[in-house]
Amino acid sequence: MLHYGDVPSVDTSKWSFSVSGMVERPFSLTWDEFLALPRKTVQCDIHCVTTWSRLDNTFEGVSVQDLLNRAGLKKEAKYCLVVAEQGFTTNLPLSDLDRPENLIALHWAGEPLTPEHGWPARLLVPHLYFWKSAKWVRGFELLDEDLPGFWEQNGYHMRGDPWLEERYGGRGLTQHEINKFRNASKKHGGGS
């Protein structure tokens, strides 16, 4: 349940989810349109960077692969900047995002997500540390370069594989690099 800042107050009448960037058919969906999409259920374990795991979770939501297929990825697309409420971002290689077990989760254990856990929608990427499963997700921007998201700019690993213990990213970024990445992230939809 860790997050930086306050839990956002989300008005679903103004909520949207978009897929943009290096795609053939960029789109944006309202909350009602998103709820009308087919759903799937995923059983998985989740792993937190703070060294705890929770086994045998059941999430329900919209398939990430269905969303990417709807958008039609351009061959140049290699990375995704995941955009969430309050300007939060996280980065993912396309090879980690485009997997059958990944969802935009709406329910956990048969119940709607709670606000503290990302309601109305959170990304689920269960094979990576859970900070990569952004809460309060609002969209994907497909890119040809890897831009670090919020936690990655603050010292977390660029990928976050729990089996390789990819918690932290090695050398710290300089303030100049942090500013450069924050400006690039804002340009790609991660700024407020």
* C-alpha to C-alpha distance for 164 and 141, rounded to whole angstroms: 27
pLDDT over 80 (residue 117): yes
User: Sorting pLDDT into bands at 50, 70 and 90, what band is 124?
Assistant: very high
79-107 per-position pLDDT tens digit = 999 999 988 899 999 999 999 999 999 99
Give me the residues paired with residue 90 across strands. 82
User: What tokens were used for 120?
Assistant: 């109305």
Residue 9 covered by a domain:
no
Residue 5 covered by a domain:
no
Strands 137-143 and 16-21: parallel
Residue 2 covered by a domain:
no
Percent of the chain with pLDDT over 70: 85
What are the CA-CA distances from residue 28 to residues 20, 93, 163 (Å)? 8, 22, 35
In this structure, are residues 155 and 169 in contact, taking their beta carbons and an 8 Å threshold?
Answer: yes
135-173 per-position pLDDT tens digit = 999 999 999 999 888 878 878 888 887 788 787 775 555
Residue 1 covered by a domain:
no
User: Sorting pLDDT into bands at 50, 70 and 90, what band is 49?
Assistant: confident
pLDDT over 50 (residue 192): no
More confident call, 183 vs 16? 16
Structural domain for 115, as ranges: 16-190
Domain total in the chain: 1
Q: Name the 3-class secondary structure at 133.
A: coil
Q: Name the 3-class secondary structure at 93.
A: strand
Residue 114 covered by a domain:
yes
What is the CATH number for 62? Answer: 3.90.420.10
Any residues with CB less than 8 A from the CB of 157 and at least 6 apart, and which? Answer: 129, 166, 167, 168, 169, 170
Residue 8 covered by a domain:
no
